[in-house]
Amino acid sequence: MIKLESILHIDNPTQFKVHFAVDNGEEQPLDVFVNDKDGWEGWNRWRGNRNDFSRKYIFSLIRFYHQRNRWLFGGIFEVLERNPSGYKVKLLDIHKDYIGRLLIKYPGPGARGRAFYLENHYSDMVVSEVFESEYSGETFCGFDNINHSFEHIEHIIKGQKLDWKMALTNVKGVYLITDKSNGKHYVGSAYGDTGIWSRWSTYVHTGHGWNEGLSELIKLTGLQYARKNFQFSLLEFYSMKIDDKVIIAREQFWKEVLCSRAFGYNRN
């Protein structure tokens, strides 16, 4: 076991607040960090109604939501100004080589909030892994292992993750969308010249993919409902050369198995 303080030394922890950046209900800070560095700095500028960052420095950690009790080092910021509208911060060069590379094992603050005194947590943090290069998003996990939230799929597609795009562009298949708020299912398929990537891109931009049952739902609840509640998985995948009739037949099979017409969002 390697203690964090042995490789990421902080001379005076009492000058720091540790920022535990977690899902704010709209986006994951890890996805923001990967896709928009200015946006990630904005997470450290945001103030709200409390003066969370009341010390000179911010030690920023990003919840690494792919693994339990893991945090990605997001940098050290100096607080230059404290204004009612937000903080003016500057990313420092201190330990800059570890930004996006150092994965820390720690259960978290154990209380609600985002900012805590660093000295109360620093000595208990452990190095989990140091990546060779800055984390750039999850590598393609294999067709059988896809079980991802709408937000995760959204960031993969909008970020044009090449390994995911190459894999999902070149297969037809039958997929499942699960509404985590109520357990309802939607079974869909991608066939013809349209691979899974193109089909799922439509969901990312609309929330419903122009499917009747899902369109009714998103019209009432908005795209944010899909972001919060939809989970994507791949039931079956095939070469682009396979006859479309096979895909359509398998789609109907899964609708029957999962009763997604009677109890889900399928309308045909």
Tell me which long-range contacts 77-86 makes (C-beta under 8 A, separation of at least 24).
77/41, 77/44, 79/53, 79/55, 82/47, 82/51, 82/53, 83/47, 84/47, 85/47, 86/45, 86/46, 86/47
Mean pLDDT, 10 residues at a time, over the chain (268 residues)?
A: 94 96 88 91 92 96 93 98 94 97 94 90 97 90 95 88 94 98 98 94 97 96 95 97 97 98 96
Closest CA to 187 of 246, 256, 239: 256
Q: Which residues pair with 70 in a beta bridge?
A: 105
Considering the four listed CATH numbers 3.40.1440.10, 3.20.20.70, 3.40.50.720, 3.40.50.300, the one that applies to the domain covering 143-258 is 3.40.1440.10
In the chain, CATH 3.40.1440.10 sits at: 143-258
* Site of tokens 């535990």: 20
Phi, psi of 18, rounded to the nearest 5 degrees: -90, 130
pTM score, two decimals? 0.70
Tell me: the pLDDT tens digits for 107-133?
998 777 889 999 999 999 999 999 999
Q: How far apart are the first and last CA of the chain?
A: 55
Closest CA to 107 of 75, 169, 64: 64
* Site of tokens 């699960």: 178
* Site of tokens 């590379």: 101
d(CA 255, CA 174): 10
Residue type at 127 in one-letter notation:
V
* Site of tokens 């896809």: 146
In this prediction, residue 28 carries a pLDDT of 87
* Site of tokens 């500057």: 90
Sign (positive/negative) of CA torsion 8, 10, 14, 17?
negative
d(CA 255, CA 261): 7
DSSP 116-160: EEGGGTGGG-EEEEE-SS---SPPP--GGG-EEEHHHHHHHHHTT
In this prediction, residue 106 carries a pLDDT of 97
In this prediction, residue 191 carries a pLDDT of 95
In this prediction, residue 24 carries a pLDDT of 87
